[in-house]
Amino acid sequence: MPGDEDGNTIKSTETLLVLIQTIQRRGTVGITELANEADVSKSTVHRHLSTLEKHGYVIKADRQYRLGFRFLDIGINVRNQFEVYRRMKQTVFRLAIETNELVSFVVEENGWGVFLYRLQGEQGVSSSAHVGKHSYLHHTSAGKALLAHLPEERIHDILDERGLPPKTNETITSREDLLAELETIKDQRVAFSIGEHTAGLSSVGAPVVSPDGDVLGGLSVAGPTHRMAGERFEEEIPEQLLSIINEFELNVTYS
């Protein structure tokens, strides 16, 4: 349609994405709120929703709309096609059993850390993150670990694009401080987070690297700060983490 394109993007597609993201954020929402959020007419919203409903991407109930499970099918399919996820599942399972804590595998996409797989051990606690959630890399130990092992130019590109907004009062927001910590992480191959992503939660993270030296992601073990302390936090869990990652990397190299 004439005038529908804006630079390199299509306005109608941008509107559709705003609608989907708004429904995702609010859970259920009506046409009026969606029209206000997207700054378009109700009739435009209705046409988009009718199309989405026809194909199973939204479900209508009592004049409210929610996302349909069609998105779940797509998301699982995307994750299953990611080879490192298929290989990493067993490693995450073993680490969760060995530590009894919450284990997460995070990958980088477009400068974000994406939680690709999570598993709670016997004593594992929940956090605000979930599979599929996008997080700033400097918020988590897994994110900092993989960030530290990216090429220097890529690190600066990500920081330029995403910035360093805080998640909690403990989050690093100084570029100079973060770069200094990334140097330490690169030397030690272990990253720590104490309440930087979730208050009261501490974690240890390390990078997972391919045989060619490419960073595949970051693996972390997280738990309540009172359990993640002292020798267990500073030595035992880092050793477990690095040991199991080493096994994973060897298996990838020689399989």
Q: Are residues 126 and 25 in the same domain?
A: no
Sign of torsion, CA 9 151 178 145?
positive
Q: Are residues 57 and 90 in the same domain?
A: no
- Residue 2: the pLDDT is 37
* Percentage of the chain lying above the pLDDT 70 cut: 96
Q: What confidence tens digit (pLDDT) does each residue in 122-169 have?
A: 998 887 788 899 999 999 999 999 999 999 999 999 999 999 999 999
- Residue 200: the pLDDT is 93
Q: Are residues 173 and 203 in the same domain?
A: yes
Q: Are residues 24 and 111 in the same domain?
A: no
Per the structure, how many domains does the chain have? 2
- Residue 255: the pLDDT is 66
Q: Are residues 98 and 196 in the same domain?
A: yes
Helix (H), strand (E) at residue 96: helix 83-99
How far, in Å, CA of 135 to CA of 147, rounded? Answer: 13
The whole-chain average pLDDT of the chain stands at: 92
Q: Are residues 147 and 205 in the same domain?
A: yes
Note the pTM of the prediction, 2 decimals.
0.84
225: nearest Cα among 197, 202, 196:
202
Q: Are 252 and 210 in contact (CB under 8 A)?
A: yes
- Residue 1: the pLDDT is 35
SS3 call for 173: coil
Q: Are residues 57 and 96 in the same domain?
A: no
Q: Which domain holds residue 240?
A: 82-254
Per-residue CA distances from 46 to 27, 58, 148 (Å)? 18, 12, 46
Q: Are residues 42 and 132 in the same domain?
A: no
- Indicate the pLDDT class of residue 6, thresholds 50, 70 and 90: low
Alpha carbon dihedral 226, 245, 122, 225, in 10-degree steps, equals 10
